Amino acid sequence: MSVEFNLANLIFVVIALFSGGWALLKIIAIQFERGLKRDLQEQFRLQEVASKAHYLQLNTRLDVLDSAAKADAGQWQRVERELLNLKADMPLHYVRREDYIRGQSVLEAKLDGLGTKLENAQLRALKNAS
Amino acid sequence: MHQIDHARLRREALRWLILLTLNNARPIGAFEGLILSVAQSEYPDATPLELRREMDYLHDRELVKVDKQPNGKWFAELSRFGVDVAEYTIVCEPGIARPAKYW
């Protein structure tokens, strides 16, 4: 049995071979693309999960910081109010050192003057009597 | 009868006032402004210069320690002898009008 190819058969065979090869390549490329897409999707999903967890963690830490700052501000406000109360009460409870010294010294000077005056009066009475 | 020396009476009374004030200001001492306000309650026309002259005199007599601070204020504090004079523990030499102990 002998096989004969004429030109038309040959051309057809060549075209068939090329198309078969092309189809094969196409299938491989499509499968490769699908695999790639799947891998990427998986990776993106994982990334999203990780970033969500990170976001949640960050949010919790920020909340903690926020509440700490709020408590701190409250404490400062309390301290400030107590200081203001102290300042307001101070003049009711205390006399300035300088005021005390001034008042006391003036009083003592007046007493000295009074003593001198009394002494003079006594001397004058003695002198008049004699 | 001789004339009364008012200037002498005034400066000696001023010295006693300084001692009195500083005795009340113990143990810290006082700035001249405070002493001046006391002096002016007795002598309304007392001047800062007059006061400084008497403070310097008391410093020379070692009754008062005067710290002439670089910022221009004078800070005074009684010394041991100053305390004794103010408390009538020792006799007072002339120059200061310390009244006799009447109490």
| Complex confidence, ipTM | 0.84
Q: What is the pLDDT of residue A21?
A: 96
Q: Across the interface, do B100 and A119 touch by the CB < 8 Å criterion? A: yes
A115:B99 CB<8 A: yes
* pLDDT tens by residue, A34-84: 999 999 999 999 999 999 999 999 999 999 999 999 999 999 999 999 999
Residues 27-86 of B with CB under 8 A from A: 28, 30, 34, 37-38, 41-42
Contact in structure between B81 and B62 (CB atoms under 8 Å) = yes
Question: pTM for this structure?
Answer: 0.68
**How many CB contacts within 8 angstroms connect chain A with chain B?**
43
Q: Please, how many CA atoms are within 13 Å of residue A115, restricted to the half-sphere of its CB?
A: 12
Evaluate whether B85 touches B42 at the Cβ level (below 8 Å). Answer: no
Q: Which candidate in B15, B19, B35, B42 is best for mutational testing of the A interface (most A CBs within 10 A)? A: B42
Helix, strand, or coil here: A32? helix
CB contact under 8 A, B34 and A102: yes
Which residues are paired to B78 by β-bridges? B64
